[in-house]
Amino acid sequence: MDETLKTELVRQGTEELQNKDAWFPRDSNGRSFSKDWFYIHLDNGETMLRTWLVFSPVNNAAYCFPCMLFQKAKWKSSFGKSSGFNAWRKLSPRLLEHERSSYHLSAFTIWKELEMRLHKQETIDAAAQLAQQMSFEKWKAILVRILDCILYLARQTLPIRGHSEDLNTDGNCGNFLETFKLLAKYDPVAKQHLHRVQRTDGYIVSYLSPQSQDEFINLLGDHIRTVIFQNIIKAKYFAIMFDSTPDISHTDQMSQVIRYVQIEDSGVHVTESFIDFIQLYRKSADVITKQICDKLQADGLKLEHCYGQGYDNAATMAGHISGVQKRILDMNPKAISTHRWDILKKHVPIRVKRSCNTRWSSTHEAVCVLAEHTEKIIDALEALRDGPEETSETGERRVGRRKKMDGENSCDAGLTLIQETSREQLEAIDQLQAEIKKRTTQMNTLHQRFAFLQIQTLLDTKKDDFIKKQIQHTCAQYPELNAASMLTEITRLRDHIILYKEVNPDEQVANWSALDLLRWVYKWKLQESLTNFVVTLRIFLTITVSTASCERSFSKLKRIKTYQRSTMSQERLSNLAILSIERDFNVDFNSVVEKFALIKSRRI
């Protein structure tokens, strides 16, 4: 019997091997083993278990556990042999004799010694495990504090590193270490950690070094991005928004924003999430298109689920942008593009009306707004043209023209102020016309597919023909939609809404937006009876790119990549940007720490 087996048997103990409750067969003399033999009968009437005695029902024999394992060969008694003891007639004297024999007592002692050693070992192992666990909990507590400090600084777009990172000098050691020191003034965990690091003068792992800071920034950024991708995949449909601007080191940074409709227990939200800054090296349509497609693939997002594309600033990618749009549309015909009205809206005090091709009066209103606010719209267009996002190419063109307008050019010398002003106005109006035309075309596409989603249209039975026609058109564009089912759903929806209006007469149903409508459907859990309609609403809300998310990211870019911090890596820039832009994101520190521990353990 080898040592490992012996150790294992000792570890398991004899209780299972004893077979105290077995059936004991009779021998030819009519005698058998009995349960009684497992017990020592004390004089005071009590009994005590013989733990060394085991019975094998297979061999119909009794054995001594320690003697089987540890008895020296020259001492072998029947209880220690493989055949065992089965002379039941002689059991009574032999058992007592064996129990008191020196060789049994010796084997018994060896057994008990080993048992004690094993028990002790287990205790040591358990203690080591506990210590390890406690040490992990301790480090987790420290790491969470470090991560929170970094997250705080990133959200405030404050620089993280300092010129000196020496904790033992009195000078300023950068925002991160100074924040951690501040925390340590009040928090015992941070205090203890800082104290140890200072005392050992950096000879222990502190996770406070610039390298660790970088690692944590990237971990936090990746964490947020991973959760966002999960949400996008859950939403299925998404729209991409790309826009670029030169950064402080004159590198063109393309901002990637994704729009999607989140449906959760907490409600329905249209979300535009910043994902990354991507460096643009060459501004040609094919290169940009490839960069965008590669990026989506790397993100695990399928182009076939991309139903909308928006490129905020036409000037940014100059003429190439139409090329990018067209190429992506060729790859996925559902990825229709929409254009932002925000820059127009920013400059015009009242809303530029949408041109609506079903009502001539609305077209009239739209034109009136343009007529009344021509100057402001021109300002808006100039802002579009002269915005900071412009490429150097368009920038040069502008400078050239401005010089001419200053009268430096000989052929301009004779122009009067009025002539010059009117020429400038005409130029602006030309641009205005081009911009309006582009937006109107895009609006029309949207309108042709989704106008029936407007609540007034939906509720108007006089528009049934229009609705029917449009649904057929829309369902032809999106094969996942079924026109016949959609029509019955619309009838059902009308009933639902009419009933709702009766119960809630104060509710301004007629003013509901598409998002209000979708929220209402989910609030009252009507989605299962309106499956096609719900998908249409989701698609519509996904593709109507309308907010200034890319621009929001540019303002962060300017605050993150400053003159002092102009050399930072692209990864760091992107991650700092996502931390500050997605500042309301609920970071799960536990999962970040676990990921960190996993990376560390792989390296060892």
Q: Which is nearer to Zn ion, 104 or 225 (CB)?
A: 104
Minimum separation from the CB atom of position 588 to Zn ion (A): 60
Distance CA 287, CA 332 (A): 18
Q: Where are the beta strands (DSSP E) in 363-455?
A: none
Minimum separation from the CB atom of position 63 to Zn ion (A): 9
Q: Which is nearer to Zn ion, 6 or 494 (CB)?
A: 6
Name the segment binding Zn ion (CB under 5 A); options: 61-69, 276-284, 479-487, 489-497.
61-69
Strands 306-310, 336-337: pairing is: parallel
| 179 and 153 Cβ atoms separated by less than 8 Å | yes
- Angstrom CA distances, 454 to 62, 154, 388, 439, stand at 90, 41, 36, 20
Q: Which is nearer to Zn ion, 67 or 147 (CB)?
A: 67
Q: Which is nearer to Zn ion, 104 or 223 (CB)?
A: 104
Minimum separation from the CB atom of position 98 to Zn ion (A): 5
Distance CA 544, CA 565 (A): 36
Name the segment binding Zn ion (CB under 5 A); options: 67-75, 151-159, 236-244, 345-353.
67-75
Phi, psi of 336 (to 5 degrees): -75, 155
Binding map of Zn ion across residues 204-243, x = CB under 5 A, - = no contact:
----------------------------------------
- The structure tokens listed for 371 are 């007529």
Task: Compute the Cα dihedral for 128, 132, 135, 141 and give only its sign.
Answer: negative
End-to-end CA distance of the chain: 38
Minimum separation from the CB atom of position 64 to Zn ion (A): 3
Name the segment binding Zn ion (CB under 5 A); options: 104-112, 357-365, 440-448, 595-603.
104-112
Task: Compute the Cα dihedral for 72, 77, 80, 83 and give only its sign.
Answer: positive
Q: Which is nearer to Zn ion, 81 or 438 (CB)?
A: 81
Token pair 């229709």 is found at 336
Minimum separation from the CB atom of position 594 to Zn ion (A): 52
Q: Which is nearer to Zn ion, 62 or 301 (CB)?
A: 62
Q: Binding residue for Zn ion (CB under 5 A) from 10, 54, 61, 67? A: 67
Distance CA 458, CA 491 (A): 9
Residue 328 buriedness (CB in 10 A; 0-12 / 13-18 / 19+): buried
Query: H-helix or E-strand containing 12?
Result: helix 3-12
Q: For residue 74, what is the DSSP state? A: G
Minimum separation from the CB atom of position 3 to Zn ion (A): 19
Minimum separation from the CB atom of position 67 to Zn ion (A): 3
Minimum separation from the CB atom of position 41 to Zn ion (A): 19
Q: Does 54 bind Zn ion (CB under 5 A)?
A: no
Closest CA relative to residue 33, chosen from 41, 25, 42: 25
Name the segment binding Zn ion (CB under 5 A); options: 66-74, 81-89, 169-177, 304-312.
66-74
Q: Binding residue for Zn ion (CB under 5 A) from 53, 64, 239, 443? A: 64
Minimum separation from the CB atom of position 36 to Zn ion (A): 19
Q: Which is nearer to Zn ion, 84 or 310 (CB)?
A: 84
Q: Binding residue for Zn ion (CB under 5 A) from 104, 283, 347, 439? A: 104
Name the segment binding Zn ion (CB under 5 A); options: 63-71, 134-142, 226-234, 374-382.
63-71
Q: Which is nearer to Zn ion, 96 or 131 (CB)?
A: 96
| 277 and 253 Cβ atoms separated by less than 8 Å | yes
Distance CA 274, CA 538 (A): 20
Name the segment binding Zn ion (CB under 5 A); options: 29-37, 56-64, 324-332, 348-356.
56-64
Q: For residue 353, what is the DSSP state? A: P
Minimum separation from the CB atom of position 79 to Zn ion (A): 5
- The structure tokens listed for 534 are 């719900």
Distance CA 494, CA 500 (A): 10
Name the segment binding Zn ion (CB under 5 A); options: 98-106, 322-330, 506-514, 566-574.
98-106
Minimum separation from the CB atom of position 205 to Zn ion (A): 54
Question: Residue count at the site for Zn ion (CB under 5 A)?
Answer: 3
C-alpha angle with apex 126: 9 to 117, nearest 5 degrees? 45
Q: Which is nearer to Zn ion, 104 or 339 (CB)?
A: 104
Torsion-angle region of 525 (φ positive above 0: left; ψ -120 to 50: alpha; else: beta):
left
Minimum separation from the CB atom of position 12 to Zn ion (A): 18
Residue 245 buriedness (CB in 10 A; 0-12 / 13-18 / 19+): buried
Closest CA relative to residue 596, chosen from 136, 128, 160: 136
Residues that bind Zn ion (CB under 5 A): 64, 67, 104
